[in-house]
Structure 1
Amino acid sequence: MELAELLTAPTEHPVREALRELAPGNWTRWSSRHWRPPEAWRQVLVSRVKAFAAGQPGDGRPAVAAYFTTTERRAADGMRLGWSPFVAALSDTEAIPDLRPTRTTVTAVPVGEAALAEEVFADPELTAALNRLAVLDPPDHGDILRVHLPTRAVTRIST
């Protein structure tokens, strides 16, 4: 009973730490048998985005939405598409900003450098939530993840 209760709150200690340690393949196998609803991960995402938005300088207009784009990561079994752990845009209106790439130049970043950048600059809880949501509902190239702060809604927009 105690274990079942812990699993209903996957963002609480010690379950949160245990889930962070699972490799994506293990997470998929575990979640398909034991726990499916990504709602708890969405709420972690919303709370971390709200904290990020509150810390941003601005003209006093509150942020309405934050947007995340996809990124490719090298994994043992090839390239894997996931959500970037960095906010691509923070908007104070309901309008969706143009998040199309403005350049065609691609620069390869060594795997170690990309991992180091995430470790140093990304919010660990935000990164964990984005990774879990990407495993549960894999994005496609060109997808955008929208976090609407007033309603706490997280939606994937396909372009």
Structure 2
Amino acid sequence: MKPLELAELLTAPTQHPVREALRELAPRELDALVIEALAATEEAWRQVVVSRVKAFTDGQPGDGRPAVAVYFTTTERRAADGMHLGWSPFIAALANTEAVPDLRPTRTTVTAAPVGEAAPAEEIFADPELAAALNRRAALDPPGHEDVLRVHLPTREVTRISR
């Protein structure tokens, strides 16, 4: 079997040939497969975050100094089962140096958005692929209230920083 054929089969693990193969694996092998699949999933979502951020920064007018790092802060979302902390799909800061900018909340006027209006705003103004990748990342590795997500463009690294 060619690698592309195998990859195509693995993207549909509930289909007959893959489902039957998974049933034959021992529990230890299944656990190893889950660990590898989770790592591959996290890497794929990281690549989506980096590619969407890169596309955004490439489209920004500037003084010739490209962004080195992009930062995202957390946001709380209200759901039927309570409040959930995730990554905001809106960029908090663009930095053209290695130094981490001051991302502490500033004294600005805040207007409360009525419940239900945050999601439509994201749909209109945020990059849907980036928002999906950030949501998946938050589900796989939940952030803390003081955390910041740093996307370092030259190395394509995505790291969580605690303030």
**Same-fold call, TM > 0.5?**
yes
Aligned: 1:81 with 2:88:
no
CA contact (8 A) 1:45 1:126 kept: yes
RMSD: 2.1
Question: Which structure has the larger Rg over C-alpha atoms?
Answer: 2
CA contact (8 A) 1:81 1:140 kept: yes
* 1:45-64 paired onto structure 2 within 5 Å: 45-64=49-68
* Offset of residue 113 of structure 1: 1.4
* 1:28-43 paired onto structure 2 within 5 Å: 35-37=37-39, 38-43=42-47
What residue is the counterpart of 1:130 in the other structure? 134
3-state secondary structure, aligned to 2:129:
helix
Tell me the alpha carbon deviations over residues 44-86 of structure 1, each in whole angstroms, 9 at most, x when there is no partner.
0000000000011110111100000000000111000000000
Tell me the alpha carbon deviations over residues 87-132 of structure 1, each in whole angstroms, 9 at most, x when there is no partner.
1001100000000001286543123211111000000100010000
3-state secondary structure, aligned to 1:101:
coil
CA contact (8 A) 1:7 1:35 kept: no
1:134 & 1:111 partners in 2: Cα distance?
21
3-state secondary structure, aligned to 1:151:
coil
Task: State the percentage of identical aligned residues.
Answer: 76
TM value normalised by structure 1 = 0.79
Point out 4+ residue stretches in structure 1 off by more than 6 angstroms. none
3-state secondary structure, aligned to 1:139:
coil
* Structure 1, unpaired ranges of 5+: 9-31
CA contact (8 A) 1:73 1:82 kept: yes
Task: Give the paired residue count.
Answer: 135
